[in-house]
A and B are shown apart, each in its own frame.
Chain A
Amino acid sequence: MNRLEAIKIVIENLSGDELLVHANGAISRESFFCKNRKENFYLLGSMGLASSVGFGLALNQPNKKIVILDGDGNVLMGFGNLALIGAFKPKNLIHLVFDNQVYGTTGNQPTISKYIPFSEVAKLLGYRTSHYIDKEDSLKKIFKEILKEPGPHFLHIKVSPEVTQICPRIPYSAKEIKERFISSLK
């Protein structure tokens, strides 16, 4: 499974009005390519901070599920976020890391992710559940399960770095992304 295939499984198995927060780069574009949802917040830049924005949302939207779509490079850059989320344990937060072992968006330069047992780290830091996933059927099954359970949940999703489909840039300005997103909360 590559990143786009994994993202597609996640999007297809949402139960309804979950709020999605996307790391910058290909993750945002591929999710947008799969489905254009108002409830999606795309970070155009601010690498490392998708989980900060998602955590801020989770704290203040206790009745919604927040799903963070993160990358290995992003998580490594904003590693302190794992500690913060683990410490505060927002029940409504689901943290997905699409780990292709590279900075895919900038041309597949290797990250150090192959040395990092993300799901063990997340568990130790206080996420309520944490899984390592490398198959499509287990991604589907586990994602559907954790959507129903109190979190915070962490899924370390191992994907291949191959890209078979180049997804176009998101056609909205940052301000438009924000306004659509806020209007979906009303």
Chain B
Amino acid sequence: MKAHDFLELLKKQGFNFFTGVPCSYFKPLCEILNKENDLFHIPAVREDIAVGLSVGAYLSGKMPVIYMQNSGLGYSLEAFASLHLIYYIPTLVLVSYRGPEDKGWEEHLIMGKHTEDLFRSFELKYSIFKGNITEEELKEIKDYLIGTQLPYFLLVTKGALE
């Protein structure tokens, strides 16, 4: 789906603070984030810092979205474990799914192979986003965030956002 349409759906659900570190899968998304000034966007320098930033944003009343490559998920798990999962910070996290399907990148092989295992062992709620999401589905995610006060992860596959 178009990154633009996806962002519009996010805005409609009230998401209003964006931070993260790019992945090539997020190129179309970041292009918009980096030029639209009505969106609150802070490009972070590390994924765990983006996780910390989202806490400050949430405490002051924002609804945060973090974007990161699954390599950054590795850097971030302790931050989620000692922030979002114990303070109860609802945040939508877009994680690009580099790895098993995405051949020829040795650096992504191991993390890619274990990404879903990591979500399961940390009991992080996630689903795979292949390029289609309806307003209702996004509203369900939003309701999950508000209801549980926990983060929700969308594993974004190659080409899902264009």
Contacts and interface: CB of A to CB of B under 8 A. Distances in A.
Contact of A178 (B40, B57, B59, B79): B59
Interface string B46-69: 101111111111111110000000
Interface residues of A, number: 34
What does DSSP make chain B's interface, helix, strand, loop or mixed?
helix
Given A60-B61, A178-B88, A181-B59, A48 B44 contact: no
B128 interface: no
Given A61-B60, A178-B87, A178-B88, A49 B51 contact: yes
Interface residues of B, number: 31
Contacts, number: 103
A27 interface: no
B145 interface: no
Contacts of B143: none
A53 interface: yes
A43 B52 CA distance: 10
A83 B52 contact: no
B52 A49 contact: yes
B53 A52 contact: yes
B83 interface: yes
A5 B144 CA distance: 45
Contacts of A52: 48-53, 55-56
B17 interface: yes
Most interface-central of A41, A52, A58, A175 (chain B CB within 10 A): A52
Interface of B: 17, 19, 40, 42, 44-46, 48-62, 78-79, 81-83, 86-89
